[in-house]
């Protein structure tokens, strides 16, 4: 059974001016997402800037999210690391504070082998009892989960039930879907490729776009799953420009700027990320206005 079906938001972590977590605003964003039909909250992922969080803060943000959501939708915690030991420890802590599932990115920088990926996910799985979503994003990590490896892991490693596919390689996703034959759930990790992945049997999307249009992303996925392809296609295509603007600089720089424009207190991004350039602010502002959300 899927951890979730539909649109899960890869949620930002809002910061105060002193760079601490703005928990009050975080709670507001969580509530607004759920009120607008988001199907899952993915906390402390790339968009949540987990790579800049000390362990204590990382766990605190996950726990706050779990407590705030209070069972309304699944909470999936980002716990992957370039160090297997750290990924195991964080995964255990996320389970202890009540996360419903884990999103575990491939080890970054190390560039481990396919056998190394297998052992990495097995070590995490052996340490927890909640479902795990693998995260394939080679543009950030330098490592690709090959379709054959993903299927091997799904079949042989307990708890690994899904993959977030952000490789951008639709041919590889098609091969994965063919080899898997339903043994693994596939989520799009790219907002401009949701429908192609749904057409290959995907369960939904882990989305940045959902920050600015949660109801539309949810509706798009369910329109497709309900057989209303025309509506789903319309919702996907009319969002292409705003999706492009949300990735005009490295994520989460633009989406935090977008949330500030929409009246949230998202705050700044943490170093080494920098604020959105003035030129891109204008691009983003125009895209949000044209899309009808600003």
DSSP string computed for 224-268: HHTT-HHHHHHHHHHTHHHHHHHTSSSTTHHHHHHHHHTT-----
What distance in Å separates the CA atoms of residue 286 and residue 20, rounded to the nearest whole number? Answer: 30
Annotated catalytic residue, options 118, 120, 135, 264: 135
H or E element in which residue 103 lies: strand 101-105
With beta carbons less than 8 A apart as the criterion, state whether 134 and 153 touch. yes
Are the CB atoms for 253 and 269 separated by under 8 Å? Answer: yes
Alpha carbons within 13 A on the beta-carbon side of 156: 14
Burial class (CB in 10 A: 0-12, 13-18, 19+), 115: exposed
- The residue from 63, 68, 93, 164 that is catalytic is 164
Number of neighbouring beta carbons within 10 Å of residue 16: 14
Task: Give yes or no: 93 in active site.
Answer: no
If we measure between CA atoms, which residue out of 123, 150, 134, 275 comes closest to residue 206?
A: 134
- CB contact at 8 A, 42 and 206: yes
For the question of residue 121 being annotated catalytic, the response is no
Strand partners of residue 206:
8
User: Which residues participate in catalysis according to the annotation?
Assistant: 135, 164
């Amino acid at each position: 059974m899927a951890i979730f079906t539909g649109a899960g938001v890869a949620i930002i972590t809002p910061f105060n001016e002193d760079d601490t977590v703005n928990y009050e605003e975080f709670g507001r964003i969580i509530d607004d997402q759920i009120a607008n039909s988001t199907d899952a909250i993915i906390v402390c992922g790339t968009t949540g800037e987990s790579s800049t969080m000390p362990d204590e803060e990382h766990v605190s943000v996950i726990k706050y999210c779990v407590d705030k959501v209070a069972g309304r939708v699944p909470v999936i915690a980002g716990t992957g690391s370039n160090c297997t030991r750290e990924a195991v420890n964080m995964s255990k802590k996320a389970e202890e504070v009540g996360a419903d599932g884990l999103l575990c990115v491939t080890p970054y920088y190390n560039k481990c082998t396919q056998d190394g990926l297998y052992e990495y996910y097995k070590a995490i799985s052996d340490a927890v009892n909640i479902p795990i979503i693998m995260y394939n994003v080679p543009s950030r990590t330098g490592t690709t989960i090959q379709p054959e490896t993903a299927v091997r892991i799904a079949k042989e490693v307990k708890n690994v039930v899904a993959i977030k596919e952000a490789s951008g390689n639709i041919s590889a996703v098609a091969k994965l879907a063919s080899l898997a034959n339903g043994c693994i759930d596939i989520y799009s990790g790219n907002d401009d490729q949701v429908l192609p992945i749904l057409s290959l049997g995907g369960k939904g999307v882990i989305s940045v776009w959902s920050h600015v249009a949660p109801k539309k992303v949810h509706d798009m996925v369910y329109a497709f799953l309900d057989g209303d392809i025309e509506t789903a296609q319309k919702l996907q295509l009319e969002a292409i420009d705003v999706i492009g603007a949300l990735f005009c600089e490295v994520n989460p720089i633009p989406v935090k700027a977008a949330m500030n424009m929409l009246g949230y207190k998202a705050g700044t991004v943490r170093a080494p990320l920098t604020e959105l350039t003035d030129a891109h602010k204008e691009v983003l502002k125009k895209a949000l206005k044209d899309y009808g959300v600003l």
